[in-house]
Amino acid sequence: MASTEYLSHLANIRLFNSCSQRELAKIARATDEVTIPAGKLLMEQGQSGREAFVIVSGKASVIINGITVAELEAGQHVGELALLDGGPRTATVTALTDMELLVISQRAFFALLDEVPGLARKILTSLACMVRDLDERLGTYDAAATHP
């Protein structure tokens, strides 16, 4: 399962972008390859989640509160927060075309963190960067107020 193509897709996920090739190969081995037909629901907003998806081929729509906010395609991912907390999905995602996906379950993800403890630090760093970027985009972070 750890083909060069899959490693490339995993490396593009912000959560995993600081991982080494060896770590990415371990992540790839923890995934399952799934093919789904057009029209199939990947996740529904508000429902709990226990897995994340990496799109190998195909397209999906992302709908939040009834509004289409994005289309995802090969190399993109969705559902990564479920790996961390299993909380409610923040969007509904539906396959627009037939899709080939890599799926990693929360259980496989946590087993991977136990096997490769250094991976947790890299993921925490990536998450911190994501939160900072979001704060910047939303204008909720004031660097001057926290660093006089």
What are the tens digits of pLDDT across the range 55-73?
A: 989 999 999 999 999 999 9
Q: Is 113 within a domain?
A: yes
Q: Is 144 within a domain?
A: no
**Total structural domains within the chain:** 1
Q: Is 145 within a domain?
A: no
Q: Is 147 within a domain?
A: no
Question: pLDDT tens, 10-69?
Answer: 887 777 778 888 888 888 888 999 999 999 999 999 999 999 898 989 999 999 999 999
C-alpha 28/C-alpha 112 separation (Å) is 10
The range of the structural domain enclosing residue 9 comes to 4-138
Q: Is 99 within a domain?
A: yes
Q: Is 125 within a domain?
A: yes
CATH number of the CATH domain containing 20: 2.60.120.10
